[in-house]
Amino acid sequence: MNDQLIALFITFILVAIIVVIGFMSGRDKKVRSSVEEWSVGGRNFGGLLVWFLVGADLYTAYTFLGLTSSAYTSGSLIFFAIPYSILAYFISYFFLPKLWAVAKEYRFTTLADYARGRFDSKLLSALIAIVGVLMLIPYICLQLSGLQDTLQVAGKGYINVQVIVIVSFLLVGLYTFFSGIKGPTYTAIIKDILVWAIMLFMIVSLPMIHFNGWNPMISHITKEAPQLLTIPSSGPKAFPWFITSAIVSALALFMWAHAATGVFTAKSANAIRKNAMFLPLYNIILTLVIFLGFIAYMVLPKGTNPRFALLELIHMSYGGVAQGLAYATIALASLIPCSIMAVGASNLFANNIYRDLINPSVNGARLTMITRCMVFVVIGLALLFGIFFPTALVSLQLLGVAGMVQIFPAIVFSLFWKKQTREATIAGLVVGVIVTFSMYFAGKSFGINEGFWGLVSNIVILLLLNPFFSKRAGTNAIKQFLFQK
């Protein structure tokens, strides 16, 4: 058996094991008894499980393939991913425990649920849900793209890649429908262990294979491709873009539906604080993975498609077993986050669009079934979008970050600002989204991340309009809970 078939066999075996574990996680009927049980596991996950789950949904195949691809083409500009995640965890330490507490008290399972309760506004809830779902679909598509790229390299000449991708995602949809958040949580443990083991193995071995160590590698890059180690001082993506992109990405990170879902599974606020302290450990891997993109730039043939940089580097450097473990790790980093994202998007649609706007009198059992069924709609849309518009995915995901940050004032400000009003919050959100998309499609952001312009506009409108409505803003149980002395 040649190396390629060995790698393909190992990839399929590990993916099959994960799918089986995903189904086994839903053996207890209680998993499907309510939206709360299905989507956030009854809020019973301890700190370690939450760490694996949040790590699984934030560090995806796109993270590793995208980092190396961007490092291959843009050099050190991609290092903005490091400060943004550190900043995100630091900020989350202060607001996520408070958000978790009110969500647990009032059984909220989405950020839009919280917004509806905090502001007594189904309109704001629906707006946040719509933004969340629309921005998440391209992100799920990117997981599809990561799996597709992996199989294209691993199974070249042996399999029909599109058929395998469709079957894989449908199987993930089935076990997510069956097991809810518990499926990806338990499989995330295996995925994260593989990520740490395989990525650290690659980080140590690849510089040895191609340059005889890290020091010779850095010296070689400094001499042959110094532009990779320098952030541009001018142009559309220079220091201002680097800084504003880090800020926007940091504030947006826990506004994503899948990230919020992971947080709401925690059984205590202390588990969330511990996660904020220990999740930055993943940056050890991220920092070093970026250098794999530099290695790919130095050793791969010129003209290599950047999106395949890491995969081609693996194919060039290892035998069948190591290839298989690496490909399987990347495949799992596509499938498991897809499952968590599907839970988050389905929950938003069922709770905050269907229930709040279409059928407010829906009973709990029917709402639970609709939420579960939406998994197939979300994954189906992602499959169709990824197949028909593959070249638009990365740009749409970056736009998604700029869009998601617009809900930050509605969620985080309102946890600490008692007099924040729904009218000013809605106006700020709408203006922020319009400004973001307008600047993006006009192609004129003046070297600043489009989401930053939108967020500034959002906050300015909120601050200007809020005094006009604050006097008539009433109180409710959520406000009393948040601001009790």
What crossing angle do the helices spanning 239-252 and 393-404 adopt, rounded to 10°?
Answer: 70
Contacts of 420 (CB under 8 A, 6+ apart): 413, 414, 462, 466
> Contact 341/136 with Cβ under 8 angstroms?
yes
Containing H/E element for 29? none
SS3 content of the chain, % helix, strand, coil (to 5): 85, 0, 15
Pairwise CA distance, residues 231 & 241, whole Å = 10
377 pLDDT higher than 90: no
| Of the candidate ranges 308-312, 401-405, 440-444, the one whose mean pLDDT is the lowest | 440-444
CB atoms within 10 A of CB 236: 13
Pairwise CA distance, residues 104 & 475, whole Å = 20
DSSP for 60-81 reads -HHHHHHHHHHHHHHGGGGGGH
Pairwise CA distance, residues 479 & 483, whole Å = 6
**How would you class 454 by CB atoms within 10 Å of its CB: exposed for 0-12, middle for 13-18, buried for 19 or more?**
buried
Pairwise CA distance, residues 204 & 89, whole Å = 27
Highest averaged pLDDT of the listed ranges 57-61, 327-331, 469-473: 327-331
Where are the domains positioned within the chain? 3-391
395 pLDDT higher than 60: no
Pairwise CA distance, residues 420 & 409, whole Å = 10
Pairwise CA distance, residues 298 & 280, whole Å = 29
pLDDT, tens only, 62-74: 777 778 888 888 7
The confidence score (pLDDT) of residue 95 equals 92
393 pLDDT higher than 60: no
394 pLDDT higher than 60: no
> Contact 230/242 with Cβ under 8 angstroms?
no
Contacts of 200 (CB under 8 A, 6+ apart): 285
Residue type, 305: N
* pLDDT band for position 397 (cuts 50, 70, 90): low
pLDDT, tens only, 297-317: 888 888 788 878 888 888 888
Between 78 and 116, the higher pLDDT residue: 116
339 pLDDT higher than 90: no
The confidence score (pLDDT) of residue 458 equals 94
* 106 Cα distance to chain centroid: 26
The confidence score (pLDDT) of residue 396 equals 60
Pairwise CA distance, residues 286 & 284, whole Å = 6
What percent of the chain is modeled with pLDDT above 90?
Answer: 12
Q: What's the pTM value of the predicted model, to 2 decimals?
A: 0.85
What percent of the chain is modeled with pLDDT above 70?
Answer: 93
CATH number for the segment(s) 3-391: 1.20.1730.10
Q: Which residues of 175-195 are buried (b: 16+ CB within 10 A; e: fewer)?
A: bbbbbbbbbbbbbbbbbbebb
The confidence score (pLDDT) of residue 99 equals 92
* pLDDT band for position 390 (cuts 50, 70, 90): low
1 pLDDT higher than 70: no
Whole-number average pLDDT of the chain = 82
| Of the candidate ranges 7-11, 129-133, 426-430, the one whose mean pLDDT is the lowest | 7-11
53 pLDDT higher than 80: no
* pLDDT band for position 265 (cuts 50, 70, 90): confident
The confidence score (pLDDT) of residue 482 equals 84
Residues 138, 140, 145, 147, Cα dihedral to 10°: 180
* pLDDT band for position 91 (cuts 50, 70, 90): very high
DSSP for 99-142 reads HHHHHHHHT--SHHHHHHHHHT-HHHHHHHHHHHHHHHHHHHHH
The confidence score (pLDDT) of residue 57 equals 65
* pLDDT band for position 245 (cuts 50, 70, 90): confident
Per the structure block, which two tokens stand in for 323? 């290839």
410 pLDDT higher than 90: yes
Instruction: List the one residue out of 311, 292, 74, 279 whose CA is nearest residue 200.
Output: 292
Pairwise CA distance, residues 190 & 185, whole Å = 10
* pLDDT band for position 157 (cuts 50, 70, 90): low
